[in-house]
Structure 1
Amino acid sequence: MTMRMGNYLRVIVLCLTGLNFIILYKPVSIPEMLPVMKNFKSNITMYSLKQNMEFEQGSKCSCLEPTIRSLDMNTRHRQKREYMEWERQENKMAEPMTLCPAMSPIRYLGSGITVEPLSSVRVVGIEVDSVLKASKHLRITLTSRNSLGHIYVEPFTMTDLLHIEGNNSGQISMQTENIDQINSALSHLIYTGQQHHIRQRDYIDVSMHNFHIVINIVIQRSHVPRLYDPGPYNNISGKVTIVSKTFERYECVKRLISSVRTFYPNIKIIIADDSCKKQKLDGNNVKHFLMPFLEGYNAGKNLLVSQVRTKYFLWVDDDYVFTSDTILERFVEKLESPTAELDLVAGLILHKGVVTETITKDAWSHVEYAKGKDSGCIMKRTTTIKTLKEFPNCKLKDMVTNFFMAKTEAVRKVGFDLTFERFAHREFFVDALGYLRIAQCDDVIILHRREADHRYSVYRHMKHDTISIDKYAKRILFKNNLQCFQSWEKIFLLSKNNNE
């Protein structure tokens, strides 16, 4: 007993918040460590732990009258297919189940226990090693560190050998001379949340002799699925909406709509327009939203994305033209890949006979964000371009051009900063860092036919508007908690020079 307990002191176990790192220091002269591990039950699986964990959370789904009944069979099949994809994405962010083996005398589930607010869950997977059988006066204490829940041992066949103090409170203690009684009580352990939080974390601190472990409890309100019905035919028109912001360029946007209709006669098109003198935009399945004059570029983007009712949307500038190489199905294929896990896919632009990945000479493709002591900095990063193994013609990037298809819900979560009224592009991709997985592919191409319009240029370009430029630069610094950022627009240099 003494020898084995000594072995435990040579082990460091880090099993917190879903991370399971075990650092062993085992002198070769002490072979007793492995037999201790064999004393545990070998038939415990993650699946059985998950099944046993459910308590008041897996109740039968039934609705009181008046009840809206289920969908027809065909729609139900589409719903199931969309839900499976939604659930797969949701599970990627779920609390991982981490079983921490008995490198101390206690085996436990370090993470993976999730409970609805004000509901109960079984604290499964915790067990004391039989190496302590010979020990007298076994005492184990469990405490809700953040006082967010109560710990309760539900009734089971107990004997006078087990004494429980503080049952159904923030701290309970159990004492016995029989290790089987301790483990029986631990197998009936329940945690009940006492406060309503959308997402919060509590910790159960477990102490026994000189050993201490921590069990993570996530109090999480379940997310209700938000699915998009692709329609009975599962075609491109039921999955994608084309959106574009226009300003003082009606000839361009009319040409864009006409080119879309050549290749996609039924796909929905939404136009946001903050021109001064409005003109009517006609066309099959075209929505034309009229905005106040000079309302702003990002205001138009937010409006457009808010009106999308399909799973994906395609962003195009109003001076783009569809060609036979603008094959939207290829974008959809990549966004629906279960292994590529992309949120946004850009294509290439044909401009003046040259196909490019961007319309600017000094392109920002990858961004480096460095955290300082109190603030950070953003700069252009030169890195080896990574290609997707699923699609070798696609490169992973942080910033892409204004020709892309994206998942509607993913972009809505990032949004577009309304401060940027007259130009806005890279600011969105800075906000999207860490939220969107982005790629650029070479198999979808669109034509860029830039038109010289004096009225448009007067409002669009900001060469002499140093006040607005300075406002934009300060907004980026403040919002993103930056002490500096490398200029990605030449106009920012005007602000810098002006300040100097």
Structure 2
Amino acid sequence: MTSLAGDKKLFFVSLISFVTGSMLVYVNCWLSSPPCYVNVYTRIADVESFNVPPGYTARAILRPMKKEEERPLASTPVYTGLIGEKPCECFGAWHRDFFSQKQWTARQRNQEKCLQRYERRQMVLQGVHNYVDGSSPISYPSHGLQVRPLRAVHLNGLRITWFDSKSIVTNAVHTVRLQCERGVFRQLVKVQGVVVQGAHTNDFTIQTSKPQQLNRQLWHIVYQNTEFDTNAFDLVKLHYMKFSITIPVHIRHRLIPWLHDQGQGRIQDRVSVVVKTFLRYSNLRRLVRSVGDLYPGTRIIVADDTPYQKFESFQDENTDHYIMPQFKGFFAGRNLGLSQVTTEYFLYMDDDHYLKPYTKLEILVSLLDRTDYHVVGGVYEDLEMFATTIRVLGDDTHACYEKLRGWYHSIPDFPGKGISFIPL
């Protein structure tokens, strides 16, 4: 009987202690801060348990779920039309009207191949976006945004990835501020429950107590360039709570590629030979003959500053011999020859050079076609000591070329050390 009475007493004491402890917890939460109610907004299974290192505190945060919009929102056409590039407006006859269908199809095929090689060599950041997700709640494109002068671009990837649980419980107002120097911010869509200040200016503020609506509004904000420039950067700065980030926007004109007629695709159709000569006509005669023997029909451009009284003409069907003012020099002659090139590639030769039967220009052309190198060269008279590589060095105020004997490395699918590879 004594044991039964003791058990009952212990049961009532435990019950009273449990009720008292529960009441104290609720009183403490009511007196201290709203984060006690974090589990009202998140499932227990979603909260990871971990050990907090000494000197650090843990804070509960809520991450919004990434959902697609339930329904499309109406955009403002006058601003939507600013996104991307302005389409061309052509009047009169089209270029293709001057060609037969067969000629036009072949021309397009050649230009497409030429364009592929051109684009391979370009460092184009458009479409290469690096979305940053770190300790900051702001996810944003750190590079890769490009806009044409006076046009607009979406700030793709810009969003707030997490929110403080206390601000959720208290229904606090979330404020995002955007600033720039060379443009303005446009609001494509007005999202319900969001207050916008500074629309169509370079100092733009978004305020709302609804996190999901905040990100919906950010998705429909575009940057429009208003200060015309052909190649410049604007820095879009965003501030949220105590965090700040910077988004570089590249303002640049479209680069127009040079597309060349490839004819039948032979070396003769794609390569011109540029020669600077002075007096040494016997050497020049040997050069012209060697090119004609190995690659008949190749156009040879000769720039000649020989004194007028000693001038000899080499003009013929495949050789254009240009008379320069006498004694103008090596570089003036090369520049003149280059100005007359109409093929996709050209080969610089001195007048005492010539091609040998084992010379393979096909290898050089193939390497240019299949890599992003701009300049290739070969050894002279089987002497590898003449094979050099060039690297551009310098800083903001000076630039120079470093010329080294030898090569950097071999390139797969191409024969080894007979070729020097010069990336410029």
Aligned partner (choices 79, 84, 90) of residue 111 of structure 2: 79
8 Å Cα contact 1:118-1:194 kept in structure 2? yes
* Alignment partner, residue 175 of structure 1: 207
* Alignment partner, residue 416 of structure 2: 393
* Alignment partner, residue 319 of structure 2: 286
Matches of 2:260 and 2:418, distance apart in 1: 28
* Alignment partner, residue 26 of structure 2: none
SS of structure 1 residue aligned to 2:113:
helix
State the shift of 1:391 in Å. Answer: 2.3
User: Residues 192-238 of structure 1, C-alpha deviation per residue, up to 9 Å, x if partnerless?
Assistant: 1111100110111100110011111111111122111211x111111
- Letter paired with 1:74: A
TM-score, scaled relative to structure 1: 0.63
1:356 matched to 2:392? The reply is no
Determine what percentage of the aligned residue pairs are the same residue. 25
8 Å Cα contact 2:150-2:227 kept in structure 1? yes
8 Å Cα contact 1:54-1:121 kept in structure 2? no
* Alignment partner, residue 266 of structure 1: 297
1:165 matched to 2:197? The reply is yes
1:186 matched to 2:218? The reply is yes
State the shift of 1:29 in Å. Answer: 2.5
Matches of 2:348 and 2:62, distance apart in 1: 57
8 Å Cα contact 2:389-2:408 kept in structure 1? no
User: Residues 79-134 of structure 1, C-alpha deviation per residue, up to 9 Å, x if partnerless?
Assistant: 12222222333355657311111431111111211111111111121111243465
8 Å Cα contact 2:185-2:221 kept in structure 1? yes
8 Å Cα contact 1:121-1:191 kept in structure 2? yes
Q: Which runs of 5+ in 2 are unaligned?
A: 1-33, 37-49, 70-79
8 Å Cα contact 2:236-2:247 kept in structure 1? yes
Distance 1:368 1:199, change over 3 A: closer
* Alignment partner, residue 481 of structure 1: none
State the shift of 1:366 in Å. Answer: 5.8
- After TM superposition, the structure 1 = structure 2 runs for residues 239-388 of structure 1, keeping only pairs within 5 Å, are 239-276=270-307, 277-337=310-370, 340-350=371-381, 355-358=382-385, 365=389, 369=393, 385-388=408-411
Matches of 1:256 and 1:397, distance apart in 2: 22
SS of structure 2 residue aligned to 1:275:
coil
- Letter paired with 1:323: K
Aligned partner (choices 236, 240, 258) of residue 208 of structure 1: 240
Aligned partner (choices 66, 71, 92) of residue 65 of structure 1: 92
How much is the aligned-residue C-alpha RMSD, in angstroms? 3.5
Larger Rg: 2
1:150 matched to 2:187? The reply is no
SS of structure 2 residue aligned to 1:252:
helix
SS of structure 1 residue aligned to 2:131:
strand
- Letter paired with 1:266: G
User: Residues 411-466 of structure 1, C-alpha deviation per residue, up to 9 Å, x if partnerless?
Assistant: xxxxxxxxxxxxxxxxxxxxxxxxx617xxxxxxxxxxxxxxxxxxxxxxxxxxxx
8 Å Cα contact 1:105-1:132 kept in structure 2? no
Matches of 1:293 and 1:40, distance apart in 2: 76
Distance 1:130 1:84, change over 3 A: same
SS of structure 1 residue aligned to 2:275:
strand
* Alignment partner, residue 41 of structure 1: 66
Distance 1:221 1:323, change over 3 A: same
SS of structure 2 residue aligned to 1:271:
strand
SS of structure 1 residue aligned to 2:122:
helix
8 Å Cα contact 2:125-2:144 kept in structure 1? no
8 Å Cα contact 1:95-1:111 kept in structure 2? no
Matches of 2:254 and 2:88, distance apart in 1: 15
State the shift of 1:358 in Å. Answer: 4.5
Matches of 1:140 and 1:307, distance apart in 2: 57
User: Residues 147-191 of structure 1, C-alpha deviation per residue, up to 9 Å, x if partnerless?
Assistant: 2000122233423xx221111101011112111221111011011
Matches of 1:157 and 1:36, distance apart in 2: 24
State the shift of 1:2 in Å. Answer: 7.9
Distance 1:291 1:388, change over 3 A: same
After alignment, is 90-99 or 124-133 more displaced? 90-99
* Alignment partner, residue 56 of structure 1: 83
State the shift of 1:256 in Å. Answer: 1.3
SS of structure 2 residue aligned to 1:216:
strand
8 Å Cα contact 1:203-1:217 kept in structure 2? yes
Matches of 1:218 and 1:374, distance apart in 2: 23
* Alignment partner, residue 11 of structure 1: none
8 Å Cα contact 1:110-1:216 kept in structure 2? yes
SS of structure 2 residue aligned to 1:293:
coil
- Letter paired with 1:269: I
- Letter paired with 1:284: E
* Alignment partner, residue 11 of structure 2: none
8 Å Cα contact 1:54-1:122 kept in structure 2? no
Matches of 1:220 and 1:205, distance apart in 2: 20
TM-score, scaled relative to structure 2: 0.74
Matches of 1:75 and 1:280, distance apart in 2: 35
SS of structure 1 residue aligned to 2:314:
coil
Distance 1:65 1:366, change over 3 A: closer
User: Residues 26-66 of structure 1, C-alpha deviation per residue, up to 9 Å, x if partnerless?
Assistant: xx734999x9797553999xxxxxxxx99532555552335
